[in-house]
Amino acid sequence: DAKTTQPTSMDCAEGRAANLPCNHSTISGNEYVYWYRQIHSQGPQYIIHGLKNNETNEMASLIITEDRKSSTLILPHATLRDTAVYYCIVPVPLQAGTALIFGKGTTLSVSS
Partner 1 sequence: KAGVTQTPRYLIKTRGQQVTLSCSPISGHRSVSWYQQTPGQGLQFLFEYFSETQRNKGNFPGRFSGRQFSNSRSEMNVSTLELGDSALYLCASSLQGYQPQHFGDGTRLSIL
CB of 46 to partner 1, least distance (A): 4
CB of 74 to partner 1, least distance (A): 18
Q: Which of residues 13-72 bind partner 1 (CB under 8 A)?
A: 32, 34, 41-46, 49
Query: Using CB under 8 A as the criterion, what x/- string covers residues 82-101 for binding partner 1?
Result: ---------x--xxxxxxxx
The CA-based angle 42-73-55, given to 5 degrees, is 110
Which one, 95 or 112, has the nearer CB to partner 1? 95
| Interface positions with partner 1 (CB under 8 A) | 32, 34, 41-46, 49, 91, 94-104
